[in-house]
């Protein structure tokens, strides 16, 4: 009843992955390798002595300088790294390492945010403690397409306030106008500004409203460079020009202002609105289900087109904005897909992968990735020179 479900349960009362699926998998002989980052998935064409069809290459994230690579061989591979992890890995395999060049060109498209907005209200007084209770315990529909979940944080969990601004600060249509009104709001209502940004017991006085919609809006993900990737190659987003994901959900703001009036509170919105960027707690899509590779990445059983034995099982296969928390939908779709894979006692030896005509094989690396250490070396060399200089100076 402490409200800490979102930020970390201290009472062993939360049903987390390590207590259900991973626990049961280990009981059946699965080995969990933590602190590992998969870098590549390589098909193994032709008959193999161990009947493997894929080689999965991973690095230990604890290797700071030379990234040692380890390869595992498997008959089946299930990618379940969440939308950002799964789409990023598969894009790398298709476009950079070229190990999976036949992946659908639809990879990274039809990505959705559940049409969400994270907003909330901070009470001006501490007469009522909003932090007590289960983190999310209720849910209601405002209209046919919009639902709202009140969310609470446990006492002391107030860091999120640094990402918030009073609603009054968001006026105008440009970043410069937003910044000007932010300053003006602080001058006109200094106590409200301090309530949201500085005064103590923010979590105890605060209620987050998670607004979600079923409206059809979308964006796409691709590998590239931007200001947000700090110049390194990573995932970048592109809004759909015809059905862009909204930054502001007006229906949610109406609920927000009504709730603020009810509890004598200050309405706030995320700082992302200052930059005209939508945010979400539930990113969906990117590996859509389709009838063939021209209109989807995976088939109805979550098997990747052109790569038998390679599956995707996470939120990246969700085909639409759900308007509610998607965790149970992800679970149901994943369990359905896994039920289509034959049990070990009933399984037959899978047919070897056949190399498509004209496709060049990708050779494996030497087990190390020294260039991954380049940013660390840039920091290490100046420090070494500095300490050597200090030593000789003595």
Give how many domains the chain has, as a whole number. 2
Tell me which of 305, 322, 339 is where a domain ends.
339
Q: Is 152 in the same domain as 208?
A: yes
List 43's β-bridge partners, or say none: 54
Residue 211 lies in a domain: yes
pLDDT of residue 386: 47
Q: Is 194 in the same domain as 171?
A: yes
Angle formed by the axes of helices 190-197 and 175-188, nearest 10°: 110
**Both structure tokens of 58:** 């991973």
Phi, psi (5° rounding) for residue 161?
-60, -25
Cα separation, 170 vs 27, whole angstroms? 53
Residues 6+ apart with CB under 8 A from 65: 373, 376, 377, 380
Residues 6+ apart with CB under 8 A from 10: 2, 4
Q: Is 215 in the same domain as 139?
A: yes
Q: Is 169 in the same domain as 105?
A: no
With the CA atoms of 370, 375, 376 and 378 taken in that order, what torsion angle do they form, in degrees rounded to the nearest 10? 110
- Tens of pLDDT along the chain (394 residues) come to 788 888 888 898 888 888 999 999 999 999 999 999 999 999 999 999 999 999 999 999 999 888 889 999 999 999 999 999 999 999 999 999 999 999 999 999 999 999 999 999 999 888 888 999 889 989 999 999 999 999 999 998 888 888 887 776 566 566 677 677 767 777 777 787 777 777 888 999 999 999 999 999 999 999 998 887 888 889 999 999 999 999 889 999 899 999 999 999 998 888 888 788 899 999 999 999 999 999 999 999 999 999 999 999 999 999 999 999 999 999 999 999 999 988 877 778 889 999 887 777 655 544 444 444 444 444 444 544 444 444 444 4
Residue 321 lies in a domain: yes
pLDDT of residue 391: 44
User: By the 8 A CB rule, do 254 and 121 touch?
Assistant: no
pLDDT of residue 366: 41
pLDDT of residue 378: 45
- Tell me the pTM: 0.86
Q: How many Å from the N-terminal Cα to the C-terminal Cα in the chain?
A: 60
In eight-state DSSP terms, residue 317 is: G
Q: Is 163 in the same domain as 270?
A: yes
Cα separation, 163 vs 171, whole angstroms? 17
Phi, psi (5° rounding) for residue 291?
-80, -25
User: By the 8 A CB rule, do 255 and 148 touch?
Assistant: yes
Q: Is 333 in the same domain as 253?
A: no
Q: Is 141 in the same domain as 226?
A: yes
| 282 annotated active-site | yes
User: By the 8 A CB rule, do 284 and 245 touch?
Assistant: no
User: By the 8 A CB rule, do 143 and 214 touch?
Assistant: no
Q: Is 265 in the same domain as 123?
A: yes
The boundaries of the domain holding residue 289 are 33-110+284-339
Residue matched to tokens 């000007």:
180
Q: Give the active site residue among 178, 181, 282, 302.
A: 282
Cα separation, 212 vs 114, whole angstroms? 6
Q: How far is CA 329 from CA 28, 145, 163, 334, in A?
A: 25, 18, 29, 8
Instruction: Tell me, letter by letter, the H, E, C secondary structure of 118-169.
Output: EEEEEECCCCCCCCCECCECCCEECCCCEEEEEECCCCCCCHHHHHEEEHHH
Burial of 277 (0-12, 13-18, 19+ CB in 10 A): middle
Q: Is 258 in the same domain as 306?
A: no
Of residues 294, 319, 299, the one with CA closest to residue 311: 299
Cα separation, 278 vs 288, whole angstroms? 22
Residue 354 lies in a domain: no
User: By the 8 A CB rule, do 94 and 387 touch?
Assistant: no
Residue 184 lies in a domain: yes
pLDDT of residue 166: 77
Residues 6+ apart with CB under 8 A from 224: 233, 234, 236
Residue 70 belongs to a domain with what CATH number?
3.50.50.60
Residue 15 lies in a domain: no
């Amino acid at each position: 009843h402490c409200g800490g479900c979102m930020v970390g349960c201290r009472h062993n009362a939360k049903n987390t992955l390590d207590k259900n699926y991973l626990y049961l998998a280990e009981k059946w002989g699965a080995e969990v390798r933590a602190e590992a980052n998969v870098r590549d998935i390589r098909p193994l064409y032709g008959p193999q002595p161990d009947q493997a069809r894929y080689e999965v290459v991973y690095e230990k994230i604890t290797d700071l300088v030379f990234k040692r690579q380890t390869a595992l061989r498997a008959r089946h591979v299930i990618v379940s790294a969440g939308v950002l992890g799964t789409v990023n890995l598969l894009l790398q395999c298709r476009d950079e390492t070229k190990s999976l060049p036949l992946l659908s060109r639809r990879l990274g498209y039809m990505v959705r945010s559940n049409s969400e907005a994270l907003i909330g209200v901070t009470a001006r007084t501490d007469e009522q403690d909003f932090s007590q209770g289960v983190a999310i315990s209720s849910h209601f529909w405002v209209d046919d397409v919009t639902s709202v979940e009140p969310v609470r944080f446990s006492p002391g969990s107030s860091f999120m306030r640094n990402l918030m601004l009073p609603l009054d600060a968001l006026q105008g249509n440009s970043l410069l106008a937003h910044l000007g009104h932010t300053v003006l709001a602080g001058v006109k209502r200094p106590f409200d500004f301090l309530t949201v940004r500085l005064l103590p017991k923010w979590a105890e006085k605060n209620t987050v409203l998670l607004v979600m919609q079923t409206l059809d809006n979308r964006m796409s993900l691709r590998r590239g460079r931007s200001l947000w990737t700090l110049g390194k190659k990573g995932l970048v987003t592109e809004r759909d020009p015809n059905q862009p994901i909204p930054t502001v959900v007006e229906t949610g703001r109406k609920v927000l202002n009504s709730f603020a009036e009810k509890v004598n509170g200050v309405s706030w919105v995320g700082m992302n609105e200052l930059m005209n960027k939508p945010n979400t707690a539930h990113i969906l899509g990117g590996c859509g289900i389709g009838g063939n590779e021209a209109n989807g990445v995976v088939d109805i059983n979550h098997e990747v087109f052109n790569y038998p034995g390679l599956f995707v099982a996470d939120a990246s296969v969700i085909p639409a904005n759900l308007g509610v928390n998607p965790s149970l939908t992800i679970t149901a779709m994943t369990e359905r897909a896994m039920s289509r894979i034959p049990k070990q006692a009933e399984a037959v030896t899978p047919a070897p992968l056949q190399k498509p005509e004209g496709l060049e094989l990708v050779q494996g690396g030497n087990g190390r990735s020294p260039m991954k250490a380049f940013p660390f070396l840039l920091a290490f060399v100046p420090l070494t020179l500095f300490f050597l200089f200090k030593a000789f100076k003595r």
